[in-house]
Structure 1
Amino acid sequence: MEQQANELIVATRAALTQASALAVQYSFSILGAIVLFVLGWFLSRLLHRWALRGLSHVRGIDMTLAHFFANILRYGMLVLVFVTVLGQFGVQTASIIAALGAAGLAIGLALQGTLQNIAAGIMLLVLRPFRVGEYIETPEVSGTIVEIGLFATEMRSLDGLYRLAPNSTLWNTPVTNYSRERTRRHDLQVGIGYDDDLDLAVRTMEELAVAEPRILAEPKPSVFIDSLGDSAVVVTLRYWVDTPDWWATTREMIKRVKLTFDARGISIPFPQVTYHNAQQPADLAAQ
């Protein structure tokens, strides 16, 4: 009985000694993990702030893109801190990294279309084929850019409709930007009758181009005979204007050409077809 009591006391002492040793060991591990986590948290925030400040000073970098890259750096640092904290407790971090890699691959395959839009959004924000406020046209969609996001681009059509275009559709297709260049050309084509005074029509269009203040002097406006149509001689007035004035100027010039031609007796004929009835020989007509 006494021997059993001594064995129990010895076992208890050994268990307490082992527990105290484990407590000391894990207390240092827990304390180190807390210190690593706190330092990593503040370091990630500091890295995010530095990256955002540095990218904001880079010319051509959109703030949406700057926030995206800064967040990647921050959360990448937090993942590294998390793996390091687990290593403090003796966890095999190699298996965790492999599991994270496999999970990332699975997520990437599942979100392939979304990641494609993100990649296209990054390229659109870096290369800037269009900016907010510019009017663009693609084979599938057209409108004024309202916002360029990482996933999609918001647009407003000419008739006031809201449009949301995935970035991948805008990146993988030709884009015509009507607002990017400072100046823009317009060819005003007018058909006049074959019996009208051709020199008068050319001189009239030249005078109208000089009288319009929004038409640029350089490149100099030009008037030329474009083609001989089925029912009209096509005269073209080619001129350049500032891009913001293009729409209003072209509409006004069409109106002035029509009114001036009417006042000077220059006709703008409708498409017409002339039929000629050939005379039959007299001997055939007698029969």
Structure 2
Amino acid sequence: MLSDNLPYMNMTYFNLLSALIVLVAGIIVAKILAGIFKNGLKKTELPELVAEFLSRFALALLYVAVILATVSTLGADISSVVVGLSAVIGLVLGFGMQDTLTNIAAGVWLATLRPFDKGEYVSVTGYSGSVSAVGFMATELLTPDNKVITIPNKVIWGSAIENATRMPTRRVDVNVGISYDTKVDQAVQVAMELMKNHSMVLADPAPAVVTTELADSSVNLQLRAWANTADYWGVKGDLTNGILNAYKEADIEIPFPQLDVHMDKE
């Protein structure tokens, strides 16, 4: 039964069964070897992002080897298959494969030069999120509200990348407006005391308050406090709420936009 040929095909049932076994077993072995390779890379000093990229590349090569072994089990000549694949790849290259190769090359550069690492928070091409993976073709970002954004590698490589978490410290800026009737020195003193008394605000560099604008309805100030990058959002939220309460307690008015209209009688 297994030695019988398949209808309209020059192969036996045994060849087909053997090919399926080789395919399934090959995929399992490839994943195991790729996992071992990835674990080995983790023991080196390579960044996690580079290790993940190399492990994915190794897995892709193993999958190619499994496909060739499966085709060979079916009785086909591997050399002819390779020549056929080369012809197909050449044909695809003429119809837009350049973008694919560009994405792969960009992925290699991103993994090598490391403008960001896995877990860092970046902004690129108008999108922001934590880097979750860099693949052959695209980079994945995870947004704070748990959405996955996939951006082609060539787009990232050709764009400005803002890395918000690469440096150990960041400056927290909080804008607030005060009434023109308020003494600026008093408002600055209240803001400085708020920042100096915050446990997560660093003493060096020292916090500061600057006047940023003489607006239509207010004198705009900016609180500038330095904090550890991990504490950035906590400090920003505390200072935003804290300056509101501090100014209320000090009877310092935070005005709302207003427009004076004067009407003349004819």
Q: Please give the TM-score of this superposition, normalised by the length of structure 1.
A: 0.64
Aligned-pair CA distance for 1:67: 4.1
Q: Which structure is richer in relative contact order (CA contacts within 8 A, separation 6 or more)? A: 2
Q: Which consecutive unaligned segments of at least 5 residues does structure 2 have?
A: 1-33, 64-78
1:3 counterpart residue number? none
Determine the C-alpha separation between the residues in 1 that align with 2:237 and 2:41: 47
1:112 counterpart residue number? 98
Aligned 1:1-287 pairs, distance under 5 A? 57=44, 59-60=46-47, 62-67=50-55, 105-110=90-95, 111-277=97-263
AA paired with 2:222? T
AA paired with 1:112? Q
Aligned-pair CA distance for 1:215: 0.9
Aligned-pair CA distance for 1:273: 1.5
**C-alpha RMSD over aligned residues:** 3.5
AA paired with 1:146? S
Determine the C-alpha separation between the residues in 1 that align with 2:196 and 2:224: 12
Aligned-pair CA distance for 1:73: 9.4
Determine the C-alpha separation between the residues in 2 that align with 1:124 and 1:62: 9
Determine the C-alpha separation between the residues in 2 that align with 1:56 and 1:117: 28
Aligned-pair CA distance for 1:100: 8.2
Task: Summarize deviations over 1:17-41 as a string: whole Å, max 9, x none.
Answer: xxxxxxxxxxxxxxxxxxxxxxxxx
SS of the equivalent of 1:225 reads strand
AA paired with 2:140? E
Aligned-pair CA distance for 1:230: 0.6
Task: Summarize deviations over 1:193-241 as a string: whole Å, max 9, x none.
Answer: 1112222111100100100111111111111222211111112211111
- Return 212-221 or 149-158, whichever deviates more: 149-158
1:41 counterpart residue number? none
1:34 counterpart residue number? none
AA paired with 1:173? S
Q: Which consecutive unaligned segments of at least 5 residues does structure 1 have?
A: 1-47, 76-92
The answer (yes or no) to whether the contact 2:53–2:134 under 8 Å persists in 1 is no
Aligned-pair CA distance for 1:59: 4.3
The answer (yes or no) to whether the contact 1:216–1:239 under 8 Å persists in 2 is yes
The answer (yes or no) to whether the contact 1:189–1:234 under 8 Å persists in 2 is yes
Determine the C-alpha separation between the residues in 2 that align with 1:55 and 1:69: 15
Give aligned-pair identity as a percent: 33
1:39 counterpart residue number? none
Determine the C-alpha separation between the residues in 2 that align with 1:124 and 1:134: 14
Provide the aligned length of Structure 1 versus Structure 2.
217
Determine the C-alpha separation between the residues in 2 that align with 1:159 and 1:241: 24
Radius of gyration: which is bigger? 1
AA paired with 2:112? V
The answer (yes or no) to whether the contact 1:56–1:63 under 8 Å persists in 2 is no
Determine the C-alpha separation between the residues in 2 that align with 1:168 and 1:105: 21
The answer (yes or no) to whether the contact 1:55–1:66 under 8 Å persists in 2 is no
1:36 counterpart residue number? none
Aligned-pair CA distance for 1:189: 1.7
AA paired with 2:218? A
Higher share of residues assigned helix: 1
SS of the equivalent of 1:189 reads strand
Determine the C-alpha separation between the residues in 2 that align with 1:218 and 1:250: 17
Q: Please give the TM-score of this superposition, normalised by the length of structure 2.
A: 0.68
Q: 1:241 to 1:172 in 2, by over 3 A?
A: same
AA paired with 2:94? L
